[in-house]
Amino acid sequence: MTNPTLNLTHDPQASSWLASANGSDFPIQNLPYGRFRPDSAAALRCGVAVGDQVLDLAHLASHSQWLQGPGVDTVLATRAVQAAAQDLRDLMRQGPEAWHALRVALFLALRADASAAVQREVGSALHALSRVELATAVQVGEYTDFYTSYYHARNVGIAVGRGSDVAPNFFWMPIAYHGRASSLRVNSAFHRPMGQAMAPGQAQPVYGPCQRLDYELEMAIYVGQDNAWGSPVAMAQAESHIFGMGLLNDWSARDIQFWEMPPLGPFQGKNFATSLSPWIVTMEALAPFRLPFTRDAAHPQPLAYLDGEDLRAHGGIDVNLSVSLQTAQMRSQGLAAEEISRTNFKHQHWCVSQMLVQHTVGGCNLHAGDVLGTGTISGPTPEEAGAIIELAQAGQKPITLATGEQRAFLSDGDAVVLRGSCERAGAVRIGFGECQGEVLPSVQP
């Protein structure tokens, strides 16, 4: 596992000549990657979010004056920006040294003391975020969703009447299912899914629109480097295979899901929509916010292949997360989304490196740009629940919003907004932006 050491790009005293970057989700200590286009007729291109702007890497790749400054590896940074100009996955496959070289070059070019010539060159590559179309940060090839929150597993069991016991295998390995990459979208609306469900006490299922639609607060892990088929990734190398993280909403049709799952797991209850935030915050940007990995003494400790000294020292990540809900009535009244829960990624039972290792241990070959969902992120208290099935106790205790509306599950017209940020004393706060999605009425076939 790579040691997340701090360097000049984490300098808390550094500010940018781009005023909107200072104090925003996207300061120069962040520099997350994504894809955008300035208009619907243009091709998607790779960019870096800075304040309220996006920096066009294809434009920068055709210029060289900005590639200067102490500590810049101009050869490696040039190769990296040229790769990113084509496809972010090409940059990912170059590995951590290239990722670092480009980060240093961008940081120095955007820092307040950059020369006037550099500022002009970089400034010519900026586009206002409010005027561009955003897409998924990479073209995702494969998507796997994990199940790594002890509190979520416990809470859902209680809510649906199964009790607080968690399946024994949960404590020994990160559990996951293979999802569908084709339905991954950035900040989009989707139709309520149709499907088959079995109501309690009934003798046969019914077909129709989902009646128990839910969200799931998750994070996305972006694979950065391929591993060869049949070659598992060891814990010591795991984070060199991870490029960064974003926000993810694993929308869930609970009535369809619970009926279909025995014995093979989620299918149509999950495959209709998954929302992603537009930006990948790199693992290097997250270095100041690493935490020791700890495991409750009452729970089994990881097997040796899922453990290690580096993991114990800094395997956790301190990310503040929240869920807000905006109903159609709120929108009609001009009201903003209302926060309904808040938690932290540090509560997960399994870390990002353990998820990647477990995914490859049988010989599975991951590719740059693949997405691993962390599973729902819930904390130890009721208000830290990462899904409405927990908050509303499977519909038995609906939540009440400031408008007086109640929600046991999601209604048509509801929009869910996920937000994430990292902050601590002695470091600059960085954000993940937002992950949004809106529920539209179902479409009959």
Compute the distance between CA of residue 50 and CA of residue 128 in angstroms, rounded to an integer. 10
Cα–Cα distance for residue pair 248/254, rounded to 1 Å: 18
Contact of 191 with 440, CB cutoff 8 Å: yes
Point out the catalytic residue in the list 10, 100, 152, 359: 152
d(CA 159, CA 153): 10
- Alpha-carbon Rg for the chain, nearest whole angstrom, is 22
* Residue 32, φ and ψ in degrees, nearest 5: -80, 155
Q: Are 228 and 268 in contact (CB under 8 A)?
A: no
How far CA 209 is from CA of 190, 269, 282, in Å, comes to 13, 11, 39
The pair of structure tokens assigned to 306 is 């899922």
314 catalytic residue (yes or no): no
Say which residues have a Cβ less than 8 Å from residue 15's Cβ, sequence separation at least 6: 21, 22, 27, 28, 111, 112
The one-character DSSP state at 3 is -
Q: What gap in Å lies between CA 221 and CA 232, rounded to an integer? A: 18
Specify the 3-state DSSP secondary structure of 168: helix
- Provide the b/e sequence for 285-313 (b: ≥16 CB within 10 Å): bbbbbbbebeeeeeeeebeeebbbebbee
Q: In a 3-state reduction of DSSP, which class is residue 433?
A: strand
Distances (CA, A) of 74 to 33, 71, 96, 107, 112: 20, 9, 15, 13, 20
DSSP 8-state code for residue 337: P
Give the residue numbers marked as catalytic: 152
